[in-house]
Each structure stands twice: as structure tokens, then as C-alpha cells.
Amino acid sequence: MSTSAHVLAISALDDLRSGLLRFDAEAREVFEAAAAEIRRTLDWLAERRAYWEREVRLCEQEVARALAVYERCRSAVWRDAQGRTYIPPCIAEGEALRRARARLEAARKELQNVVEWTRRVQQAADEYQRQAQRLAALLEGEARKATALLERSAVILNAYAALAAPSVAALPASSPIPTAAPAVRYETLDAATFARYDRTSDVILINARYQDVREPLLLAPILAHEEVHRRYRGSDPVDEESLQRYVDEEMEAYRAQYEAWQQVKAEFERRYPTAAERMALEDGARDMLAEHLQLQDRVESLGWQGLRQELGAMYRQRMEAAP
């Protein structure tokens, strides 16, 4: 049974991840620019509306004054000696009233035009906001998940390419693995510890008990877990604030391990379809398989929030017990 795969161009995953991150950043810049332009347009329309509302009021006042002058002029009736009544033509006053009414009508049309364009722009802006929010949610959710998945996939494939080589199992303890992936070596660790990240040497240490494990599908999730610690390089908690940071880091590490296992689980089950074949694995391989299945069960039974509470309580107890 083959335990290796022909893995090529792992850097393409990093290129794709970088492309997604660039797209995310550029899309957010477009969102900000579009939002600013919408605000400027609506502000300008609001200013024009206020201007034409003032103009309408002024024109209405002008019409009222012109009408009063015209009516006073027309009311200046006089009679001649024969008793005939004459009404003044008030030509100038009538023309002034006509011009005032024309200005009022023009101002009202401008105001109506601004109101209509404000309605159209606001309607278009609302529709844009709905679509932009959907895309922003997609970027916040799926695109972020995709970049995290690509990052973890690169870690897994690097580990797979390195650990699947036949020469790896023959390396003595403390010998570094020659790979572009994070430096990894086998070392004697606590019996309950599969692996840990050593900040001092920047090396992921794998328990020497698992030196004979030849199945990279089981090793890769362990390395994905420790790669998170390598990225954060956090230290043991000493107070509540550092405890929360430590739990955040540990949760991300377990999530990386869980997702890595989900990625390789189908291939693992294809290679070892029966319980007998899995029981035939090395003791260390069976231990790692049990670890991944146990984590899967804990996530499915507790949920991520429940797992966080469980880890938080455990690490708080350890912190309080520390000298």
C-alpha cells in the first residue's frame, strides 16, 4: 500500500491565498470609495434641496408682495364727471406680478427635480448597500475561511511532502527534517504530548514515541495544530488577560487540527476502509487516529463554544496551580 503522494507546486496555494487577500483588501477599498461618493452625492442633493426650499419661500413672499401692490393699484378706482368708473390698467404692477409668479414656478420645478433625484439616488444607494452587504458578508465569512483553509492546506501538504518520504522514518531523534515546511524533529516528550512548539529553537517537536508513524495523513493535523502556536509564539498564561489570549490561540490550533483532519479523513478512510486495517497500524498511528477522532467527537458534542469553556477551565486550573 502506497503511503506517499506526488505533491507539486504547494506555493500555488500561497499565491492563491495572497490573491484572495488582495481581492479582499481591494474590494474593501472600493466599498469605502463608493460609500464616500454616495455620501457626497446625497449631501450635495440635500444642500440643493435646502437651497431651493429657501428660494421657493422667498419667491412666495415676492409673489405675495407683488400681488398686494397689484391689488392696491387696481383698487384705486375713480369716476369722471359723468359718473363713469375707471379702473387703472396697472401694467407695470401686473408685469411685476407675472415675473414673480414665473420665478416661483421655476423654483418649484427645481425643488421637485431635486426631490425626485434624491429619491432615485437614495433608491439606487439602498439597492447598492444591500448588494454590497452581501459581498462584504461573503468576504468576511467565506473568503476569510478560504484564506485560512489555503494557509492550513499549505501546512498540511508541506508536512505531507516532508513526512511521506521514506527517509524520514529512519532519521534519528533530534535530526531536523530537510524541508521548506516548519523545522520538525523528534524528541522525548511527556507521554501525553503528541507534539509541541519550542519557541527558543523555532522547531516543532514531535514525541519520539511516534517516530515510527509512517502515515502523513495522521501526522499532518498534529503539525497543523503546532503551526498555529508557531505563528503566535504565545507563552503560558499568568493572569486573566494572558489566559484569554492563550485560550484564543489554543482554540485556533484545535480548529486547525480539526479542519486538517476533515481534509484528509476521506483519503485516510479510503486507504484503511476496515477496522482490521486500522488496527494493523503502528501503536503510535492508532494513538494519533484516536486523538483526531476524539477531537471530532468533542467538537460535535460540545460545539466550539463548549470546547472553549472546557479548555478555559482546564488552563485556568493549571495557571492557578502553577508555582
Residue ending a domain, choose from 102, 126, 141? 141
CB 7 within 8 A of CB 137: no
Give me the pLDDT at residue 145, please: 62
In a domain, 237, yes or no: yes
| 115 shares a domain with 45 | yes
| pLDDT confidence of residue 96 | 92
Looking at the structure, tell me whether residues 123 and 232 fall in a common domain. no
Say whether both 178 and 251 belong to one domain: yes
Q: What is the pLDDT of residue 19?
A: 66
- Are 315 and 169 in the same domain? yes
Q: From the first residue on, what is the mean pLDDT of each consecutive set of 10 residues in the chain (323 residues)? A: 44 62 73 84 92 95 94 86 82 92 94 92 85 71 61 58 40 35 80 88 88 82 87 84 89 89 87 89 90 93 91 89 78
For residue 177, which of 167, 187, 190 has the smallest C-alpha distance? 167
User: How many domains does the chain fold into?
Assistant: 2
pLDDT value of residue 3? 41
Task: Note whether 189 and 303 are same-domain residues.
Answer: yes
pTM score = 0.47
User: What integer pLDDT is reported at residue 111 of this predicted model?
Assistant: 93
**153 occurs within a structural domain:** no
pLDDT at 157: 58
Q: So what's the pLDDT on residue 1?
A: 39
Sorted by sequence, the CB contacts under 8 Å of residue 222 that are 6+ apart come out as 194, 195, 206, 257, 288, 291
What's the grid cell of residue 238? 499568568
Determine, yes or no, domain membership for 240: yes
CA-nearest of 123, 100, 132 to 45 is: 123
Alpha-carbon distance 67 to 69, whole Å? 5
Cα dihedral angle (154, 157, 162, 168), rounded to 10 degrees?
140
Positive or negative, the Cα torsion across 240, 243, 248, 251?
A: negative
Domain of residue 66, residue span: 15-141
Please report the pLDDT score of residue 84 as a whole number. 82
Asked if the structure places residue 157 within a domain, the reply is no
Locate 80 and state its grid cell. 369722471
H helices present in the chain, as ranges:
11-75, 91-138, 144-163, 166-169, 216-232, 240-271, 275-279, 283-321
Residue-level pLDDT at 62: 95
Amino acid at 194: F
Q: Are residues 106 and 42 in the same domain?
A: yes
From 141, 174, 199, give the residue that closes a domain. Answer: 141
Last residue of a domain, one of 141, 172, 202: 141
